[in-house]
Amino acid sequence: MAEALKKMPAEEAVLSAWPMVCGEAVARNTRALQFIDGTLTLEVTDKTWRAQLQDMKRQYCSAITKLSGHAVNEIHFVLAAGAQDRK
């Protein structure tokens, strides 16, 4: 799969790599939105997930970069619509 990702355009490869890198539980609570200039933007279901994932940004950047072949330097988290109301 890594070889296929490395042949894709950067945004497509990074967005496709996210669920493979993060695992099933995290993938259910996040959505990769865009990859621009080395920054991956992820939508998270609530503030708790955002806080937990913040601590793992470096590991995720490294894993996505390795898998996709495209440098991910930063991950930006945005809350899903209505997420402020969830715990």
Mean pLDDT, the chain cut into blocks of 10 residues (87 residues total): 92 97 96 98 96 96 97 97 63
CA atoms within 13 A on the CB side of 10: 12
Residue 54 has a pLDDT of 95
Residue 87 has a pLDDT of 47
* Enclosing domain of residue 25: 2-85
Strand partners, 78: 43
Calpha distance 21→67 (Å, rounded)? 8
**Number of domains, the chain:** 1
Residue 55 has a pLDDT of 93
Calpha distance 22→5 (Å, rounded)? 16
CATH of the domain at 58: 3.30.300.180
Q: Residue 27: which residues within 8 A CB-CB, separation 6 or more?
A: 18, 19
3-state secondary structure (DSSP) of residue 78: strand
